[in-house]
Chains A and B, each alone.
Chain A
Amino acid sequence: MNTALFVTQLVNGLQLGVLLFLVASGLTLVFGILDFVNLAHGVFYMLGAFISASLAALSGSWPLGVMLALPLVALAGAATERLVARPLYGKSHLAQVLATFGLILLADALAMLIWGVEGRTVALPAWLQGRVAAGVVELPVYRLVIIFSGLAVAAALYVWVHHTRFGMLVRAAAANRAMAEALGVDTARLHAVVFILGAVLAGLAGALITPITEASLSMGSDIIIVAFVVIIIGGTGSLKGAFAAAMLVGLVDALGRAWLDDLFKLAFPAEIAETAAPAISAMSIYILMAAILVLRPGGLFPPRARGR
Chain B
Amino acid sequence: MEASGRLKQLMRWLEGAMMAALALLPLIAQLAHQPFWLDLATRLVILAMAAASLNIILGLGGLVSFGHAAFLGIGAYAVGIPVHHSIYGGASWLASDNGLFHFALAVGAGALFALVTGALSLRTKGVHFIMITMAFGQMIYYLLESLETYGGNDGLTLDVRSALPGIDLDNPAQLYWLAFVILAGVLVMTWRLRDARFGLALAGARENARRMAALGHDVTRIRLAAYVLAGAICALAGALMANSTAFITPAMTSWPRSGELMFMVILGGAGRILGPVLGAGLFVLLEEALSSFTTYWHLPFGLLLILAALWQAGVFTTRSGGART
Contacts and interface: CB of A to CB of B under 8 A. Distances in A.
Complex A–B touching at CB under 8 A = yes
Interface of A: 31, 35, 37, 39, 84, 87-88, 90-99, 101-110, 112-113, 221, 225, 228-229, 231-232, 236, 275, 278-279, 281-283, 286, 289-290, 293-294, 297-298
A7 B73 CA distance: 37
Contact of B298 (A93, A94, A105): A105
Nearest to A38: B127
Nearest to A225: B138
Given A35-B127, A93-B130, A236-B127, A98 B312 contact: yes
A99 B146 contact: no
11 contacts: A98-B306, A102-B303, A105-B256, A106-B298, A106-B306, A107-B302, A225-B255, A282-B145, A283-B142, A289-B135, A293-B123
B146 A279 contact: yes
Interface of B: 58, 64, 66, 120, 123-124, 126-128, 130-132, 134-136, 138-139, 142-143, 145-149, 254-256, 259, 262-263, 266, 270, 296-299, 301-310, 312-313, 321-324
B221 to A, nearest CB: 16
A298 B259 CA distance: 25
Residue of A94, A101, A103, A228 ringed by the most chain B CB atoms within 10 A: A94
B64 A282 contact: no
A26 to B, nearest CB: 15
B302 A102 contact: yes
A298 B120 CA distance: 11
B306 A282 contact: no
A269 B216 CA distance: 51
Contact of A228 (B135, B301, B306): B135
Nearest to B120: A293
A110 B310 contact: no
B299 A110 contact: yes
B138 A286 contact: yes
A98 B302 contact: no
A106 B303 contact: yes
A283 B139 contact: yes
Contacts of B143: 279, 282-283
B302 A229 contact: no
A102 B306 contact: yes
Contacts of B262: 94, 97-98, 101
B11 to A, nearest CB: 19
Contacts of B255: 221, 225
B312 A94 contact: yes
A91 B302 contact: no
B324 A90 contact: yes
A275 B297 CA distance: 38
B309 A98 contact: yes
Contacts of B297: 109
A283 to B, nearest CB: 5
B323 A90 contact: yes
Nearest to A102: B305
A221 B305 CA distance: 17
Contacts of A96: 309
Given A232-B128, A293-B120, A297-B124, A88 B313 contact: yes
B302 A103 contact: yes
Residue of A84, A92, A275, A293 ringed by the most chain B CB atoms within 10 A: A92
Given A97-B66, A98-B259, A282-B146, 12 more contacts: A91-B313, A97-B309, A98-B308, A102-B303, A106-B302, A109-B298, A109-B302, A110-B299, A232-B131, A236-B127, A278-B148, A286-B135
Given A35-B127, A293-B123, A297-B124, A94 B306 contact: no
A298 B270 CA distance: 29
